[in-house]
Structure 1
Amino acid sequence: MLTESTAAGFSAKNARPDQPTPRRDKKLGAFLPLSREKLTDPVYERDYSTDLELPPFRPKNLTQGAIGKALQFTRADDAVLKSYGVPKNLLVEFRILSSPCTVVRDATVKAVDGLDAARSGPSSASRVVLTGPAGCGKSTILLQAVEYAVRQDWIVLYISRGIPLVNSSTTFVYDPRTRTYEQPEVSYEILRRFQNVNANNLNIPIHEDYPLDTRTLRKGDSLSSLVKAGVDEPAVAAAVLGAVMSELTKQTTRPVLLAVDDLQAMYRASQYRDPQMRSIMPYHLSVPRIILEIASGKKSFPMGAFYGAVSTSNTYFRMPLELSEALGIPFEGPSGPYEKRHPEFVEYAKGLRNVPVPAQLQIKEASSLFEVWAKDRALHSVPNDELFMAKFTEASGNPRDFVWKGLLSSFAL
């Protein structure tokens, strides 16, 4: 249901010519829907292929009165889904549904209200991390905030999958000039997607000269031309990404949002190794270092915000002690005064504000979600109040469990 760029994460690599191309559904862990032309059985004749018809996801619809309503991400003009992609669990849901959609929650309204308040202030004053138990909807709330910012003409950099930045799935090379390890492939992908989403908002003059391998960007050239240089020359993409982020901390034309999912992965040793086989810390990798500097407030956008979300899906990149203590949430492990803490991570976590996402859906939020799946013919039995209450109770109101262990529990997905 989504484009190829949506499905691709930052960890994608080109297949070798002598190796067979892996099956796409196997690679993603998600099913691809059948085309309508193949649904020829008479059972499908009763208009089972009609797309959902819901109000579009627009900033004007994200009000207190809209809590509990379902909105649709329109694929025709949705640059976020096409370019930045979404976390894998959301990608699977969007593929099963005939059209990507979401439900407005109380946490959604609070998140976009926070963006409105941050529009005229520095990002160092608006550094938010969404926390909560597994499946409570942190990634969904973050995606909704990103969509809102894009449609409000913010400059937005959204990293929907943060773990591939530190799991040693892409190339890296040591740069003696900055004493960090550059990540050219990751930087190129970020710049390419950033350019696609923000094409209309990058006509901003840069503040200094930037000499590259084949040309020099002069002071006064547009930020768009700087981004394009990194896309046209992947070899210098890492240096260009650093320059772009530096320019965004100087410009005062538009507010900027940096949003990162899997943020907890930036606060522990990465899976990259140096020549002595020692783990490389994220602050020694070019892209995670950019994220940590903005998240900690060491660098700041004149107008804008930093939004992050933590996840529990990867057991290696679990919530670290330093980040847990900075956010004031319980740590699942030893946390006494004699437990080792990395001072660098403590510094990078200072000032982050914890915004807990409710563990349970409100009844009106859950009922709207139930209606979406019912209208899309995804339920295995007749939708009624008894089925709704049974599945809502079984899931204890948890959004992910309500859908996957409740509504879709009879499907072999």
Structure 2
Amino acid sequence: MFPEFSERTLQPQNIGKPVLYANPQTSPARYFGLPKTTLVEFRLLTQPCTIIRESTLQMTGLVERAAGNPSSDSRICYVGSAGTGKSHLLLQTVQHCHLQKWVVIYIPRAYATVDSTTTHVYDLRTRTYVQPFFSWQLVQRIFSTNQAILDTLTTTEKHDFGKVSVEAGQPLQELHRIAETDKYFAPQVLEVVLAELGKQKEHPVLLAVDDFQSLYGKTKYKDPHFDGITSYHLNVPRLIMEYAGGRKSFARGAVFGALRSTNTQFPVSNDMYMGLGLDEFEEGRAWSPYQKQRKSVREYLDGMVPLHVPEGLTATEATGLFELWRQSRAMAAEAGDSTFMAAYTQSGGNPREFVWNGIMKSFATPPLEVDATRPFPQLTVMA
């Protein structure tokens, strides 16, 4: 139907062309999951597809330069107005790095680390709160997605986990086995796995986080006194923020994040706007000298570079997106040029508006009747 998303198709002459995410059984999205809106779109399409945009080619250039340098030199955050395609661009980044034999760590719903849906326990060793179940899930997904690469790597030093230890030179799978045996050690195992991945230079490492802004605001977790726990006192958010802020680094690799301004529970905080150096009026916001500022949060953004995703689709890109939905038979048979022009004009080129309030209005069956709880047959949903 469409050519595959690959290095061969990621060329300037293919801007606006629809491409197919092939081999879903080995895709990182199968294990890590997808953002909700992306998941629903893929259910409506016959297969997971995307289009090549100018920003896609810009991303490939960033990935190419990051492949040989420490991740502390390549820390990018996709920013822009709601519906501009930041999550899709981040997914393209993940897929591209996976095809380039990177070690991929993808967190499509970062709010799940701070919304108090998994257990947390106070750890006397680190004086922070650890999240054993979420840490175990993340370790599982890292090893499942990157099994072929991780099977070739060994530990560089001895690691102790209570009465159990892993000697230097042992396969990294031994760390996975410890997390499987006792989930209590999963937070420590997760930290050790990332540290070991950071030392090796055979394969670059990508840490990609969607809903990135949720890590830099208030969390839903409470301490025994029912006071709110800050995100950097929880082991998973803190670990991500340390790599995002450059406190920890992979010897080769990059850290990519994407903001989601439509998340009302975890909106983009003032500290994140200031930390990224964003214009205070980008989202109709205005600063006040009375607004509380947290320097400790902004330190975890030090050196992260905002990359603005284009506000709208070009005519070529919009044509390709329309063709993608038309050939997928997700539109009414009579939809044609008039439908395209109406959708493109009314949306102002905004990708989400173009699809949801433009193209989807031509559906024979309203999209609201789609069961959003039904799992996609080839992709799993991240808890």
* TM-score of the superposed pair, with normalisation by structure 2: 0.91
Alignment of 1:129-168 (within 5 A): 129-168=77-116
1:387 aligns with 2:339: yes
Alignment of 1:317-396 (within 5 A): 317-331=266-280, 332-396=284-348
Partner of 1:190: 138
Change (3 A) 1:238 1:157: same
Q: 1:81 aligns with which of 24, 29, 32?
A: 29
Q: Do the aligned partners of 1:130 and 1:356 also contact (CA within 8 Å) in 2?
A: yes
- Structure 1 counterpart SS, 2:358: helix
Instruction: Tell me by how many angstroms 1:206 deviates.
Output: 1.2
Partner of 1:248: 197
| In structure 1, C-alpha distance between the alignment counterparts of 2:297 and 2:328, rounded to whole Å | 45
Partner of 1:281: 230
| In structure 1, C-alpha distance between the alignment counterparts of 2:277 and 2:247, rounded to whole Å | 21
Instruction: Tell me by how many angstroms 1:111 deviates.
Output: 1.0
Partner amino acid, structure 1, of 2:36? K
- Structure 2 counterpart SS, 1:383: coil
Partner of 1:176: 124
Deviations 1:301-357 (A, max 9, x none): 111100000002321211111211222223454524443211111111111101010
Partner of 1:48: none
| In structure 2, C-alpha distance between the alignment counterparts of 1:412 and 1:240, rounded to whole Å | 42
Partner of 1:259: 208
- Structure 1 counterpart SS, 2:170: coil
Partner amino acid, structure 2, of 1:168? S
Q: Do the aligned partners of 2:242 and 2:248 also contact (CA within 8 Å) in 1?
A: yes
Instruction: Tell me by how many angstroms 1:205 deviates.
Output: 2.0
- Structure 2 counterpart SS, 1:308: strand
Q: CA RMSD in A?
A: 1.5
| In structure 2, C-alpha distance between the alignment counterparts of 1:327 and 1:380, rounded to whole Å | 43
Partner amino acid, structure 2, of 1:288? P
Partner of 1:47: none
| In structure 1, C-alpha distance between the alignment counterparts of 2:268 and 2:311, rounded to whole Å | 17
Partner amino acid, structure 1, of 2:287? S
| In structure 2, C-alpha distance between the alignment counterparts of 1:156 and 1:236, rounded to whole Å | 22
Partner amino acid, structure 1, of 2:56? T
Partner of 1:71: 19
| In structure 2, C-alpha distance between the alignment counterparts of 1:224 and 1:255, rounded to whole Å | 19
Q: Do the aligned partners of 2:275 and 2:299 also contact (CA within 8 Å) in 1?
A: no
Runs of 4+ in 1 over 4 A off after TM superposition: none
1:407 aligns with 2:347: no
Change (3 A) 1:329 1:359: same
| In structure 1, C-alpha distance between the alignment counterparts of 2:238 and 2:360, rounded to whole Å | 40
| In structure 2, C-alpha distance between the alignment counterparts of 1:270 and 1:77, rounded to whole Å | 34
Instruction: Tell me by how many angstroms 1:387 deviates.
Output: 1.6
Partner of 2:244: 295
Partner amino acid, structure 1, of 2:29? L
| In structure 2, C-alpha distance between the alignment counterparts of 1:232 and 1:280, rounded to whole Å | 29
Comparing 244-253 and 261-270, the one that deviates more: 244-253
Q: For structure 2, list consecutive stretches of 5 or more residues without a partner in the other structure.
A: 369-383
| In structure 2, C-alpha distance between the alignment counterparts of 1:179 and 1:164, rounded to whole Å | 22
Q: Do the aligned partners of 1:188 and 1:238 also contact (CA within 8 Å) in 2?
A: yes
| In structure 2, C-alpha distance between the alignment counterparts of 1:412 and 1:123, rounded to whole Å | 41
| In structure 2, C-alpha distance between the alignment counterparts of 1:404 and 1:258, rounded to whole Å | 29
Q: Do the aligned partners of 1:274 and 1:280 also contact (CA within 8 Å) in 2?
A: yes
- Structure 2 counterpart SS, 1:307: strand
Q: Do the aligned partners of 1:204 and 1:253 also contact (CA within 8 Å) in 2?
A: no
- Structure 2 counterpart SS, 1:71: strand
Deviations 1:4-27 (A, max 9, x none): xxxxxxxxxxxxxxxxxxxxxxxx
Partner amino acid, structure 2, of 1:353? V
- Structure 2 counterpart SS, 1:60: coil
Partner of 1:58: 6
Partner amino acid, structure 1, of 2:296? E
Deviations 1:381-413 (A, max 9, x none): 523222211111111111111111011125142
Partner amino acid, structure 2, of 1:171? T
Q: For structure 1, list consecutive stretches of 5 or more residues without a partner in the other structure.
A: 1-52
Deviations 1:87-136 (A, max 9, x none): 00000000011111001111111112101100111111110000111111
- Structure 1 counterpart SS, 2:307: strand
- Structure 1 counterpart SS, 2:144: helix
Change (3 A) 1:107 1:377: same
Partner of 2:71: 123
Instruction: Tell me by how many angstroms 1:76 deviates.
Output: 4.5
Give the number of equivalent residue pairs.
Answer: 361
Q: Do the aligned partners of 1:84 and 1:159 also contact (CA within 8 Å) in 2?
A: yes
| In structure 2, C-alpha distance between the alignment counterparts of 1:412 and 1:59, rounded to whole Å | 33
